[in-house]
Structures are given as structure tokens and as C-alpha cells.
Amino acid sequence: MKESIGVEFRIKPVHLEIFSPSPMGSLHFTLDTAPVKLLNRFHKRITASGRAIPAPNHLHMIDKLPQELKKHSLPIVPNTDFLPAILGKGPQWHNYQREFTDLKFVATTALSAFALATYDPEIRTPQHLTGKKVGIRPRPSSLRVLKEAILRDAWGIYDKVILKDCFRSEAKDGLLKGDFDATFWFENRQVVDGFECLEPLALEAKDTGWVGISLEDTDRINRNNPWKLHRVLVPGGSLRANGPKLDPPMDIGMAGLSTALCAWDSTEDEVVYELVKFMDKYSHLWPDFTNGCPLSLSRMSSFPGLTEDVVHPGALEFYNERGIKIGQPVQLHGMNDLVDF
């Protein structure tokens, strides 16, 4: 773009459809479609709607659309999928049928953190899990990609544990009844004043122990996968809970799952520029539309494995204007300081 000032008033009215890989009605769908609510309420020229299509199917579906529709069909893509989609890679049960080299990063929208939780006081390290049953989300989810990588590449125990498919609603009772010994289902999300476990009742049921993710674990995952991971440090006392049953007594390293709003080479630069500018301008309202999750320019521009060549030119221009250097650690604010890149 030759000029950036006043873009909002120069672009033609446009409707964007945001494709979330999360089920409609879920918390993650709410996070993914926060731009829809904000745009429809506050923007003069851009309207939006949201759809729920699982990954990787959402990219394949968008790819079949006529170009005039595809360029305004923007997918939400987690870090477990972004680089594999561009490279046309992934496990057989979660793979991309072509190299989506036209897929481009726009902005990170949310951060979740995962470690292994257990009620068994004898399980505190990966080695303690040998021969144990682990409750895990069924394939072909992106979350399954992440959790298998932790067991296989970070800890080297994938073939030493018994995987038990289960869903979030089954996690607490599964642990209490002994259906499995540990689970990844005690997911934590970043909120304005700390972290919040999505299963507070499960934390209340019994003393909870955690098997955390180290920086060395993160390095091993990054060396052995086409996608990249960052580690999230969740300090003791930061889960917005009271009492020893509800909060880890010490800092816990967790695997971060970041989700990114993406666009295409064919998406107009001025539309993407205005979208990122709008998200930055209204980032202070983001918690009101996401049940408390924060957003900042630093968070928007930070994503594991991100390089300038995979950032949409419209977004890159905005970040450059704000002095953000893609691919370099940035000083994050508030609770965002807890992320290790």
C-alpha cells in the first residue's frame, strides 16, 4: 500500500467470514469469533460472520470456494497446523492435502496452556507415567497433535503409556474412578489477571498434581516437528483460585497452544491492514468479548515459528509501522510476560 492513513474510510464495504476449527458454542469458538462481534459492532465498513469447521477440513473447504469468496474467508489456525499447512504436512490422520503456500498470518488471537494433571501423588515426572493410563482427546484434533508430541518427542514415553480417548466432560470422573491416571484435559487459558483452568470443578475434587513442560522438552518438540511450540510459565497462585487444591504451589511450565487469524495471498492488503489496525485499536475491549482473555499488539504479533515471509503484507506493514519486528522476542505486557519464546 502506498499510504496507510485513513484506510478505514477508503476501503469498500466488505464482509469477512471467519472459520473456527472449534465446535460452535465452545469457549474456543467464542475466542475465535471475537473479531466477528467487534467488527459488527464498531466498524464502519467491515462486517463479519463465523463458521465452525474442524481443522484441517476448514482449509480444504475454503480452498474449494470461488476466488472472490475465498479471499474473504479467513481461517483460525493453531500453531500445530500453521506451518504444516504451508508445507503440506501432518500425520496421516491430520494432514493437509496440498501445500497451502498462499496461507498468511494476520494476528494471534488467543493462548491456552497444557500440562498433564493427576490426582495420584506418586506421579510428578514423565518417568512416573510408565505403564500408566493417560486420558487424551481423540484423534484427529489439533490438540491431539500437540499432546502426542509431548508424550513422544518431549518425554519419550509415547509407547510406554496407555492412551485412553476421552472428552473434557469425562476428565474429572475418569480420574476419580481410575479409568486413567493422568490427563491433559485440565486446560488453562490466559485471562487478564492470570490463568484460568477450564475445569475448576475437577481441580476442586481432589489435590491436583502437575507434570510440567521444560524448555528442553520444548526444544525437543520443535526439533522433531514441522510446527513450533512455545512454553508458557504458569506461576503458582496465578490460576485465579483459592486453596491448595485449586492452584499449583509452584511455577509450572506448560505447552502453549496459540491460535492465529489468517488470510490469503488474494486477500486485499488494505483489508488486512485495516483488520489488524482495528484489532489493535479495540484490544482493550477484547476481554469483554472473550470471557476475560487479553489482547495486545505484542500478543497479536507473537506466534511460534513466525517469520516475515509468512505474514500477510497488509499485517506486516502495520506491525512495521508500530516498530514490531517479526521473528524476534518482544517485550510483552502484563500477564503476557509469562511466555518464554
CA-CA-CA-CA torsion sign (63, 69, 70, 73)? negative
Protein fold of 113-256: D-Maltodextrin-Binding Protein; domain 2 (3.40.190)
Whether the link from the prior residue into 249 is cis, omega within 30° of 0, is: no
Per-residue model confidence (pLDDT) at position 248: 59
Taking every pair of Cα atoms in the chain, the longest distance, rounded to a whole number of angstroms, is: 63
Protein fold of 7-110+257-340: D-Maltodextrin-Binding Protein; domain 2 (3.40.190)
Q: Quote the CA–CA distance of 234 and 256 in Å, as a whole number.
A: 10
Per-residue model confidence (pLDDT) at position 191: 85
Please state the domain extents for the chain.
7-110+257-340, 113-256
Q: Quote the CA–CA distance of 134 and 115 in Å, as a whole number.
A: 12
For the purposes of burial, counting CB atoms within 10 Å of the CB of 139, is it exposed (0-12), middle (13-18) or buried (19 or more)? middle
Q: Quote the CA–CA distance of 255 and 215 in Å, as a whole number.
A: 10
* pLDDT tens-place values along the chain, 341 residues long: 444 444 554 678 999 999 999 999 898 999 999 999 999 999 999 999 999 999 999 999 999 999 999 999 999 999 999 999 999 999 999 999 899 999 999 999 999 999 999 999 999 999 999 999 999 999 999 999 999 999 999 999 999 999 999 999 999 999 999 999 999 998 888 888 778 888 878 877 888 889 999 999 999 999 999 999 999 888 777 765 544 445 556 788 999 999 999 999 999 999 999 999 999 999 999 999 998 999 999 899 999 999 999 999 999 999 999 999 897 543 333 344 444 44
**Which residue shows C-alpha cell 484441517?**
56
Q: Given this chain, do its domains 7-110+257-340 and 113-256 carry the same CATH topology?
A: yes
Name the percent of the chain in helix, strand, coil, to the closest 5.
40, 25, 40
User: Which string of DSSP letters, residue by residue, matches 66-90?
Assistant: -HHHHTTEEEEEEHHHHHHHHHT--
Per-residue model confidence (pLDDT) at position 7: 52
Q: Return the exposure string of 302-338: e unless at least 16 CB atoms fall within 10 Å of the residue's CB, then b.
A: bbbbbeeebbbbbbbbbbeeeebebbeebebeebbeb
Q: Is-contact 161 220, C-beta < 8 A?
A: no
Q: Looking at the chain, how many residues does it have?
A: 341
Q: Is-contact 252 210, C-beta < 8 A?
A: yes
